[in-house]
Amino acid sequence: MLILKIFRAPEWAALRDKGESQGAPVDVADGYIHFSTPEQAQDTAAKHFAGEEGLVLLAVEADTLGDALKWEVSRGGALFPHLYRNIRLSDVTASYPLPLVNGAHVFPQEVLAP
pLDDT-derived band at 103 (thresholds 50, 70, 90) equals very high
Q: Is the pLDDT of residue 105 over 90?
A: yes
**Amino acid in the structure at residue 4:** L
3-state secondary structure of 23: coil
Q: What is the mean pLDDT of the chain?
A: 96
Q: Is the pLDDT of residue 74 over 90?
A: no
* Bridge partner list, 29: none
pLDDT tens figures, 13-57: 999 999 999 999 999 999 999 999 999 999 999 999 999 999 999
In sequence order, the 6+-apart residues with CB closer than 8 A to the CB of 5 are: 23, 33, 34, 35, 36, 57, 58, 60, 87
Pick the residue with more confidence: 28 or 75?
Answer: 28
pLDDT-derived band at 91 (thresholds 50, 70, 90) equals very high
3-state secondary structure of 11: helix
Q: Is the pLDDT of residue 98 over 90?
A: yes
Q: Is the pLDDT of residue 113 over 90?
A: no
* CATH numbers and ranges of domains, the chain: 2-102 (3.20.170.20)
CA torsion, ordered 101, 105, 109, 112, to nearest 10 deg? -160
pTM of the model: 0.95
